[in-house]
Chains A and B, each alone.
Chain A
Amino acid sequence: MLVERNDPMLPRWYRIQHRREELANTFTVTLEPQDHEDIPVFDCGQFNMLYVFGVGEIPISISGDPAHPAPLIHTIRAVGNVSNGLQGLKSGALIGVRGPFGTPWPLALAEGKDLLLIAGGLGLAPLRSVMYHVIAHRKAYGRVTLLYGARTPEDMLYRQECEHWRAHLDLDVAVTVDRATESWRGSVGVVTRLIAHALFDPAKTLAFVCGPEVMMRFCAQELEKCRVPGEQIFISMERNMKCAIGFCGHCQYGPFFICKDGPVLPYYQVKDLLRKREI
């Protein structure tokens, strides 16, 4: 039967090319479309809806290089029915994909400015695309700093890549863990601690923050203490998304539909809401 491409609720089938275990319950899949046609281009920070046959659909941010949209790359943590279903799939299995959806990190706005990327936990996944883009267009930006906080050294995502980025002379990379293991030689303490020690010109800095909501809230407060204006801080929000096109209403956050007005939002627009519970 003919499938209409213009129905935004219809997925395309992608085959799992390769899967890689990242952490205990976190894995990365690379995907190629079954129809062998082009993969849509995406902007850093956007997400796709991934569908497991008979189980359901979840939003997952894209973690690949925007300059090379093929294959499609997603890092997924198994926490619910669908993500557990995804974890059970082997290479060669088919999944449905809709997207990309949502607002991107405002990279064009960051050109000529210092760029401060702050990731917490799995929040590094949507910022990895930004790292790829920035490294490929390094001259377009001033100082580039990545601050990454993880739960423990074992919970650090993309650890080898972080080491690789740290070796770049024109990138500042600082990593910290909430809880160290004995062999850990690096920094211990919450990620907000790293902000005051990073080198950036607050008036000319764009900060992209991604992680658990509580982490983003305290990072944004710390950034403001360091005199980064709220207009220059961007966060990536997460809410329950069912349709990703603003129809189902599930992902509402005050006036915003996180699926289409977000996930990336300027901090000053959500600052007051972030202070309120159960919005």
Chain B
Amino acid sequence: MPDYDRLLAAHPFFNEFQADYLHQIACLATTVCYERNAYIFHEGDAAEQFYLITRGHVMLETFGVERRGSISIETIEAGEVLGWSWLFAPYRWHFSARTLEEVEVIVLDGVSLRYMCEADPMFGYALLKHMAVIIMQRLQRTRLQLIDMYRADGG
């Protein structure tokens, strides 16, 4: 079994967490590998896991009838975290996540993490603070995508 204490301590999301917290989180961790083109989760399903991508690229996507097939939203890759819907009601995935190649993730039990947050506000604050940074970065990136800066007239 991998040394999750060490793996989590090395991950940018958790590297500022205290050792005893890390140890508690490590108890919730497992490693999962996905084939290329596999769905890690589907839009609308119950959101119960928090994923740390350790290898490969994942596409966040949705779908519609106007554009057949999938609508790609953003790529998430090794070193980043995937999914925050397990933290917020109604605990349903907002988008789907599909692998673009073979992908390895550390899966953390999101429901247990949520209970830890409720039980220990210090821990809850630390986790939410780090999650807020991720949400902020994704929002900023999305805004840059939205301004369409390479438009032919200079945007």
Contacts and interface: CB of A to CB of B under 8 A. Distances in A.
Complex A–B touching at CB under 8 A = yes
Interface of A: 25, 77, 79, 120-122, 149-151, 155, 176, 178-180, 182, 184-190, 192-193, 196-197, 211-212, 214-215, 218
Contact of A192 (B77, B144, B147, B151): B144
B148 to A, nearest CB: 7
A139 B59 CA distance: 36
B15 interface: no
A56 B96 CA distance: 52
B149 A189 contact: no
B2 interface: no
B151 A151 contact: yes
B150 A188 contact: no
B79 interface: yes
A207 to B, nearest CB: 18
B125 to A, nearest CB: 23
B114 interface: no
Given A122-B150, A189-B145, A190-B141, A182 B74 contact: no
Contacts of B71: 180
Interface residues of B, number: 27
B31 to A, nearest CB: 21
Contacts of A188: 59, 72-75
B141 to A, nearest CB: 5
Contacts of A122: 150
Contacts of A77: 152
B141 A192 contact: yes
B100 A182 contact: no
Nearest to A176: B75
A77 B74 CA distance: 28
A218 B74 CA distance: 18
B28 to A, nearest CB: 26
Contacts of B141: 189-190, 192-193
Given A151-B148, A192-B141, 6 more contacts: A120-B150, A180-B71, A182-B70, A184-B72, A189-B141, A214-B147
